[in-house]
Structure 1
Amino acid sequence: MRIAVTGGFGYVGAHLVARLRAAGHEVVVLSLLPPAEDLPARVADVEWVAADVSAPATYAGALDGCDALVHAAAMGAGPATADPAGAFRVNGYGTRAVLDAAVAAGVRRAVYFSTYHVYGKETGTITEKTPTRPFSDYGITKLAGEGAFYRAARREDIEPFILRFSNGFGAPLSREADCWSLAFPSFARSAAETGRIKLLSAGMQQRDFLTVGDMCAAVEIVLEAPAPRAGDTDIAYNVGGGASLSMREAASMVAEAYGEIRGEPAAIDLPEGTEDAPAEPAVDYRFERIAKLGYAPAGDLAVEALATLKFLRVRPKR
């Protein structure tokens, strides 16, 4: 299968490109920026088109001959807050533009990297039937991108899938990966640099986490899944890890992984007076729909924490 991947040199996209190529697929990456110098060759030497998804002229013809499109390029949560108009241009219009180009090129299947942020709900039970009421600029603009896929679902010449991921984590393939503001990677970098992890709150808020490997597995599943019925707009699938963790538990996992390497865990610094903060409600991020297609989270967050610390060159004491 020839597969176009937007954002294929990014944090998750690079892992996906490596995995698809290992499975024997032919991959073309559409990316605004070239591959980072430290990306491994199994990603960096892929066919690359310098493309801005919101400027269709930059990728004219790039999707010709492709069987599938995986649209992972996006403006993330922090940048979207700083530049909401830019986020609408990239996450909203850019998604519509690249999907329209895929339809015009005869691409048969399209997969969209969406997010649990479209729900605007972070605790309790979340299913695909939970109302989408985003409150962040990131969630709002990613939901706008979903709209392009729902519109495409009414056509008969493309098979769209929306994957609403929870919080992905895995060892990056490049130091330039846009991941260091995320919970697990930021904890790992702090531990690697200082031997300490500083929490800015009590850290009792709960989130669902999954590994980057499980994210890639979900993409592979929907690339091979039976086609939706023509006109069927029930195309969104939650993809989670199946475990609710507090930020404090995530920090502890990284601290313990640090201890496996250095002999003693990283220290965790809490704001004064928060040591005995009560537990907050858990999140139950349901993914039964994609489980019926064969998805089952198999990754280990503790293993990824250890791998991230090693990537950051944490070494045993001498």
Structure 2
Amino acid sequence: MIRLIISGANGYFGSIACQYFEDKGWQVLKACRQDNADIWCDLDSPEQFAKLTIDSHVDLFIHAAAAHEVTCREQPYRSIYQNVVGTKAALDFCVKNNIEHFIYLSTFHVFGHPKGEINESTEPLPVNDYGLSHLQAEQYVQMYTREGKIKGMVIRPSNFFGIPVDLDKFGRWTLVPLAFCREAIETHKIVLKTPGLQKRNFVSVNDICRVIENSYVLIEKIPLLHIYGVNTISIRGLAELVQNVMINNFNNKVELVIPNNIYSSYFPQRNEFTYTSKYLKEIYEPRGRIENFIVDFVDLFKGIKSVE
């Protein structure tokens, strides 16, 4: 049995990942600051976390605790501290407890405004605190690996999606696929703030977990891994996809509201890009499709709303 720790275990990614690995028969220890924590982990108190000791052997630590993009924008100083110093604390915790393998959940957004083909050799060029703080955290993982303190891997998934484990406690409604679904159900409209020409690549959380499951034993060979999904689609295309699912699968009409074309010149289409990897195909090629997720999530959310 593989024993692993997941930090941020009650977060959007972390809670789905805990469920995934438990279903695989792994023993999962939850590191978070909620009452169900197996290990107390508060990124506002990194020194306390770094000094903790545990009695049991652990094979792998997945560090998924971080301030997300909205928090980074609204509370930049605290968020940078959590993302960078919090990652160092997680690394020190692993060193103190002889946890050899460490995987850091970074983000595609270290590339800022993506252009052309982007793989593990592409230089990151972050444009905000969210991307930069993740890049700085990556460098801590790389430094600890160079110094032989841990065997670390940085993974950079694109924008991920997955059915929340507990929708009542879910708080990430700023994530576009979920926000569009919720808006379509509650208001029968999807209102875009821009013409929606910017593109995103989407990968399922379960696919990310499958990649981790298959790759963590390869950490020494692959210290940096990009994880892309099947779908690269514009924000407007995603809204239209939700609109089509609502009418075709649930017989509900949804109005799509797009800013008047007169303003489109202020929001030019972003450069075309392909998010790819030099290694991923040899490990596991993601299969989760965003349209299947939309159908499943709308079905779940509509059921909950009808009960209410």
TM-score by structure 2 length? Answer: 0.89
Q: After TM superposition, what 4+ stretches of structure 1 lie above 4 angstroms from structure 2?
A: 274-280, 314-317
Please say if 1:208 is aligned against 2:201: yes
Superposition deviation, residue 276 in structure 1: 8.8
CA distance in 1, matches of 2:170, 2:82: 19
Sequence identity, in percent?
A: 25
The DSSP-based 3-state class of the residue aligned with 2:130 is helix
Q: Which amino acid aligns with 1:16?
A: A
**Equivalent runs, 1:1-318 vs 2, <5 Å:** 1-34=2-35, 48-53=38-43, 54-58=45-49, 60-62=52-54, 64-175=56-167, 176-223=169-216, 225-228=217-220, 235-273=223-261, 280-292=270-282, 294-314=283-303
Deviates most, 95-104 or 251-260: 251-260
Q: Which amino acid aligns with 2:193?
A: L
Q: Deviations over 1:202-248 (max 9, x none)?
A: 1111111111221221221222x33416xxxx611111114320001
Q: Deviations over 1:36-62 (max 9, x none)?
A: xxxxxxxxxxx6223214424247124
CA distance in 1, matches of 2:269, 2:135: 30
291 and 310 in structure 1: CA distance in 2 versus 1, 3 angstrom threshold: same
Higher helix share: 2
Q: Deviations over 1:242-264 (max 9, x none)?
A: 43200011111112222244314
CA distance in 2, matches of 1:161, 1:11: 21
Deviates most, 213-222 or 96-105: 213-222
Superposition deviation, residue 71 in structure 1: 0.3
Unaligned residue ranges in structure 2 (runs of 5+) = none
CA distance in 2, matches of 1:227, 1:135: 28
Superposition deviation, residue 307 in structure 1: 1.6
The DSSP-based 3-state class of the residue aligned with 2:127 is coil
Number of equivalent positions: 300
217 and 274 in structure 1: CA distance in 2 versus 1, 3 angstrom threshold: farther
**Alignment RMSD (CA, Å):** 2.4
Superposition deviation, residue 275 in structure 1: 10
CA distance in 1, matches of 2:59, 2:108: 27
Please say if residues 231 and 289 of structure 2, whose CA atoms lie closer than 8 Å, have aligned partners that are also in contact. Answer: no
TM-score by structure 1 length? Answer: 0.87
25 and 274 in structure 1: CA distance in 2 versus 1, 3 angstrom threshold: farther
Q: Deviations over 1:291-313 (max 9, x none)?
A: 22x22011021111112212322
Please say if residues 122 and 283 of structure 1, whose CA atoms lie closer than 8 Å, have aligned partners that are also in contact. Answer: yes
Please say if residues 5 and 30 of structure 1, whose CA atoms lie closer than 8 Å, have aligned partners that are also in contact. Answer: yes
